[in-house]
Amino acid sequence: MSPDVLMWVVVAVVVLIVLGAVLLVASRVRGRRRTAALKRHFGPEYDHVLGVAGGRAQGEDELRQRLRRRRELDVRELDADEREQLVVQFQQAQNSFVRTPRTGLRDTDLLIQQVLRRRGFPVEHFSEREAMVSVDHPDLVGHYRAAHAVAVAESDADTEQLRQAMVDYGYLFDELIGAGHPESTRRDLPAS
């Protein structure tokens, strides 16, 4: 091989190595930015999902899938009449809770499902509801998860657990119906 050809081969190898290094660094920077965006959007739910998923790659993939799924949904705001009707139903569930806490809590759990259905969220399985609530209301999904667990538990929860579940449902209910502020019922979705 002539010295000129050898020099061009060495130059080509060096260029490929440098280009590979630049691409690797760019990929890591992009990955860190995606991670930061997911952490910012999901807050404590980010850590919860990573813990359940068994690692960062699987957890972040799950969160990105939630964001994609949520973007595909045709979620709508409730009109004033619907909100008013649902508020009355929530007040009835609260009254029922005072008389028979477990029944009132189950009624509230079903009412949350009804609100989600009316707005266009999937309601077939709790895991779907939980995932979609986590996208729009990541600060409340942990409370929703806990309240639902108490509402569907076969064993008797103590009075404080029942009360806390009802309080948690109240916060989520207010957010889902807009509580007079429809613009507050949805977070801006980050790019995946």
98 and 176 inside one domain: yes
Domain presence at residue 191: no
Could you tell me if 98 and 171 lie in one domain?
yes
Same domain, 12 and 91: no
Same-domain check for residues 43 and 117: no
Q: What is the mean pLDDT of each run of 10 residues along the chain (192 residues)?
A: 80 80 70 85 93 91 95 93 96 94 94 96 93 94 95 86 95 87 47 50
CA 182, CA 120: separation in Å to the nearest integer? 15
Which amino acid would we find at residue 62?
E
Instruction: State whether 88 and 172 are in the same domain.
Output: yes
**CA 112, 113, 114, 118 torsion-angle sign:** positive
Task: Judge whether 101 lies within some domain.
Answer: yes
Distance from the Cα of residue 150 to its chain's centroid: 20
* Residue 192, in any domain of the structure: no
Residue 116 lies in a domain: yes
Burial of 69: CB neighbours in 10 Å, binned 0-12, 13-18, 19+: middle
Instruction: Indicate if 181 and 91 belong to the same structural domain.
Output: yes
**Helix (DSSP H) and strand (DSSP E) numbers for the chain:** 8, 0
Same domain, 106 and 30: no
What is the reported pLDDT for 6?
Answer: 79
- Mark whether 115 and 180 lie in a shared domain: yes
First-residue to last-residue Cα distance in the chain = 50
**In angstroms, how far is CA 100 from the centroid of its own chain?**
31
Report the pLDDT value the prediction gives residue 30, as an integer from 0 to 100.
73
pLDDT of residue 182: 42
For residue 54, is it within any domain? Answer: yes
Same domain, 100 and 146: yes
Same-domain status, 41 and 21: yes
Residues 64 and 85 in one domain: no
How many domains, in total, are found in the chain? 2
pLDDT at 5: 78
Same domain membership, residue 137 and residue 120: yes
Confidence at residue 24, expressed as pLDDT on a 0 to 100 scale: 75
User: Domain limits at 95?
Assistant: 80-185
